[in-house]
Structure 1
Amino acid sequence: MTSCMVFNHHSLPFDSPGMADEALPDFLKLCLRAQNIGLDTILVDESIDKGWFRLELSGSYFWQDWYQKIQSGNNKNAEKQIRAFRSIATRQPFFSTRDIQNHVDLFEVSLDGDASFPALRAAAWHEAPLAGFPTRSPWLDSPLTVTVEELDQAGEIKQKSIDLMNFFSLAIFEQHSNELLEKRNDLIRTGRALFDEKERLFSGLIFCGKAPQQLRHWSAGLAILDQVKETLTVLNQFCGVWGETGYPEYRHEVLRDLGLNHEVSGESSSVLDNPRLKAEREFWLPKGRKEVFQSHVKLNKGYRLHFFPDHHSKTIFIGYIGPHLRLK
Structure 2
Amino acid sequence: MDIYIFNELSSPFATITEAKEHLATFINICFKARELGFKALHLHENIGKSLYDLPIAPDYTVSQWLQDSEEDVKNQFREIITKTPLITDDYPFEKERNERSEFKIEINHQTQFADGLGAAYLLETLCVSFLSHDLWDTDEIKNVEYYYLTEEGSDVVTKEIAVKHASKPAHLEKHQAWFEQKKRESLQKSQDLWKQRKEFFPHLVLCGEVEKQLTHLGIQSKFFDQIIEKLKQLNEYAQNWQNGSYSDQIAKQYGLNVSGESEGTLKKYGRQRKFRLPNKKKELFEKHIKTGDLRFHFYPNEESHTIYVGYIGSHLSTVKYK
Q: TM-score range by the shorter chain?
A: 0.5 to 0.7
Q: Deviations over 1:56-107 (max 9, x none)?
A: 1111222112212224xxxxxx42x333212211111123353687242221
Q: 1:82-121 to 2 correspondence within 5 Å?
A: 82-97=74-89, 98=92, 102-112=96-106, 114-121=111-118
Identity rate, percent:
20
Q: Tell me the distance in 1 between the aligned counterparts of 2:178 and 2:121.
A: 18
Q: CA deviation at 1:54?
A: 1.2
- Alignment check: 8 A CA contact 1:109 1:124 kept: no
Deviations 1:158-208 (A, max 9, x none): 2222210221212212221332133124323579x9xxxxxxxxxxxxxxx
Note if 1:58 corresponds to 2:52.
Answer: no
- Residue of structure 2 aligned with 1:149, choices 147, 150, 158: 147
Q: What is the deviation of 1:19?
A: 1.8
Q: Give yes or no for contact 1:37–1:181 (8 Å, CA) kept in 2.
A: no
Amino acid at match of 2:77: F
Query: 5+ unaligned residues in a row in structure 1: which ranges?
Result: 72-77, 194-214, 227-328
Residue of structure 1 in register with 2:174 after alignment:
175
Counterparts of 1:74-223 in structure 2, within 5 Å, are 78-79=71-72, 81-97=73-89, 98=92, 102-112=96-106, 114-145=111-142, 146-154=144-152, 155-189=154-188
* Aligned CA distance change for structure 1 residues 104 and 9 (closer, same or farther; 3 Å): closer
- Alpha-carbon distance change, 152 to 63 in structure 1, aligned in 2, over 3 angstroms: same
Gap change, CA 1:149 and 1:64, over 3 Å in 2? same
Distance 1:137 1:173 in 2: 17
CA contact (8 A) 1:152 1:158 kept: yes
- The letter of the residue matching 1:144 is I
**Mind listing any 5+ residue stretches in structure 2 that lack a counterpart?**
194-208, 218-322
Q: Aligned equivalents of 1:188 and 1:20: distance in 2?
A: 40
CA gap of 1:19–1:163, structure 2 versus 1, over 3 A, is same
TM-score by length of 1: 0.51
Q: Deviations over 1:128-180 (max 9, x none)?
A: 22111111242234422212221334532222222102212122122213321
**TM-score, length of structure 2 as denominator length:** 0.52
Q: Matched residues in 2 for 1:103 and 1:132: separation? A: 24
**Whose strand proportion is higher, 1 or 2?**
2
Amino acid at match of 1:116: F
User: What is the DSSP-based 3-state SS (H/G/I as helix, E as strand, rest coil) of the residue aligned with 2:85?
Assistant: coil
- Backbone CA RMSD of aligned residues: 3.2
The equivalent residue for 1:307 is none
Contact 1:14 1:20 in 2 (8 A): yes
SS in 2 for 1:50: coil
1:21 has 2:50 as partner: no
Aligned length: 194
CA distance in 2: counterparts of 1:19 and 1:166, whole angstroms: 20
Contact residue 128 and residue 167 of structure 2 kept, 8 A: yes
Structure 1 Cα separation of the partners of residues 48 and 96 of structure 2: 27
Q: Cα distance, 1:127 vs. partner? A: 2.2
Q: 1:68 to 1:115 in 2, by over 3 A?
A: closer
Give the partner amino acid of 1:125: L
C-alpha distance in 1, partners of 2:15/2:115?
Answer: 25
The 1:160/1:70 distance shift into structure 2, 3 A limit, reads same
Regions of 4+ moved over 4 Å:
215-218
The aligned residue for residue 211 of structure 1 is none
Say which SS state the counterpart of residue 164 (structure 1) adopts.
Answer: strand
Q: Take 1:26 and 1:39, find their aligned partners in 2: how far apart are those partners? A: 17
User: Residues of 1 paired with 2:81 and 2:64: CA distance?
Assistant: 20
SS of 2:12 mapped into structure 1? coil
The amino acid that maps onto 2:68 is K
